[in-house]
A and B are shown apart, each in its own frame.
Chain A
Amino acid sequence: MSYDQTQSLMSWGRYPTVKQAVYSALSPLRIEPSAWGSNWLPYGNGRSYGDVCLNEGGILVPTRRLDKFLSFDKQSGLLTVESGVLLSEILSVAVPQGFFLPVTPGTKFVTVGGAIANDVHGKNHHRAGTFGHHVTRLSLLRSDGTIYECSLQENEALFRATVAGMGLTGLILNATIKMIPIVSDQIAQETIKFETLTEFFQISSQSEAKYDYTVAWIDCIKAAPHLGRGHMICGNHSDVAGTLCAGKAPKLALPFNFPSWLLNGTTVGVFNEVYYQRQRSKLKKRSVHYDPFFYPLDGILNWNRMYGKEGFVQFQTVIPKPEAQAAVTEILKIASASGMGSFLAVLKEFGQMKSVGTLSFPRPGVTLCLDFPMRAHKTVPLMQRLEQITVDSGGALYSAKDALMSAASYAQMYPALSEFTKWIDPHCSSSFARRVGII
Chain B
Amino acid sequence: MDRSSLFLIVCKKGWYYMKTVLVLGATSAIVLETIKHYAQTGAKILLVGRDALNLQRIADDLKVRGASAVNCYVNELSGTDSARQLFAQIPDDEKNEIDIVYIGYGLLPDNEQSIKDEPLRHAALQVNFLSVVEHILQWFNFFVPFGMQTNISRNRVIAVISSVAGLRGRRTNAVYGAAKGGLNTFLSGLRSKGTESGVRVLTILPGFVDTPMTAGIKKGPLFASAEVVGKRIFQALQGKDDVLYVPWFWRLIMLIICLIPEKIFKKLKF
Interface string of B200-214 (1 = CB under 8 A from A): 000000000011101
Q: How distant is the Cα of A70 from the Cα of B56 in the complex, in angstroms?
A: 10
- Among B51, B53, B219, contact of A4 (Cβ-Cβ < 8 Å): B219
Q: How distant is the Cα of A28 from the Cα of B215 in the complex, in angstroms?
A: 16
Q: B3: nearest residue on chain A (CB-CB)?
A: A244
Answer yes or no: B197 CB below 8 A from chain A CBs.
Answer: no
User: What residues of chain A lie closer than 8 Å to B218, measured between beta carbons?
Assistant: 4, 6
* Interface bin, chain B: 20 to 34
Given contacts A93-B64, A97-B66, whether A244 and B2 have CB atoms under 8 Å apart is: yes
State the Cβ distance, B218 to closest chain A Cβ, in Å.
5
User: What residues of chain B lie closer than 8 Å to A244, measured between beta carbons?
Assistant: 2-4
Could you tell me if A97 and B57 are in contact, using CB atoms closer than 8 angstroms? no
Could you tell me if B225 and A2 are in contact, using CB atoms closer than 8 angstroms? yes
Q: A242: nearest residue on chain B (CB-CB)?
A: B3
Q: A28: nearest residue on chain B (CB-CB)?
A: B57
Answer yes or no: B261 CB below 8 A from chain A CBs.
Answer: no
Could you tell me if A96 and B4 are in contact, using CB atoms closer than 8 angstroms? yes
Interface string of A79-95 (1 = CB under 8 A from B): 10000000000000100
Answer yes or no: A98 CB below 8 A from chain B CBs.
Answer: yes
User: How many residues from A make CB contacts under 8 Å with B?
Assistant: 23
Answer yes or no: A7 CB below 8 A from chain B CBs.
Answer: yes
Answer yes or no: A68 CB below 8 A from chain B CBs.
Answer: yes
Answer yes or no: B270 CB below 8 A from chain A CBs.
Answer: no
Could you tell me if A69 and B61 are in contact, using CB atoms closer than 8 angstroms? yes
User: What residues of chain A lie closer than 8 Å to B217, measured between beta carbons?
Assistant: 6
Q: A72: nearest residue on chain B (CB-CB)?
A: B64
Could you tell me if A71 and B210 are in contact, using CB atoms closer than 8 angstroms? no
Q: How distant is the Cα of A210 from the Cα of B65 in the complex, in angstroms?
A: 34
User: What residues of chain B lie closer than 8 Å to A243, measured between beta carbons?
Assistant: 3-4, 7
Given contacts A3-B29, A4-B210, A70-B61, whether A98 and B219 have CB atoms under 8 Å apart is: no
Could you tell me if B214 and A70 are in contact, using CB atoms closer than 8 angstroms? no
State the Cβ distance, A69 to closest chain B Cβ, in Å.
4
- Among B2, B61, B219, B227, contact of A6 (Cβ-Cβ < 8 Å): B219
B residues near A (Cβ < 8 Å) are: 2-5, 7, 29, 40, 51, 53-54, 57-58, 60-61, 64-66, 210-212, 214-219, 225-227
23 contacts between A and B (CB under 8 A): A1-B226, A1-B227, A3-B210, A3-B211, A4-B218, A5-B216, A6-B219, A28-B54, A29-B53, A69-B60, A69-B65, A70-B60, A71-B60, A71-B64, A72-B64, A79-B64, A93-B64, A93-B66, A96-B2, A243-B4, A243-B7, A244-B2, A244-B3
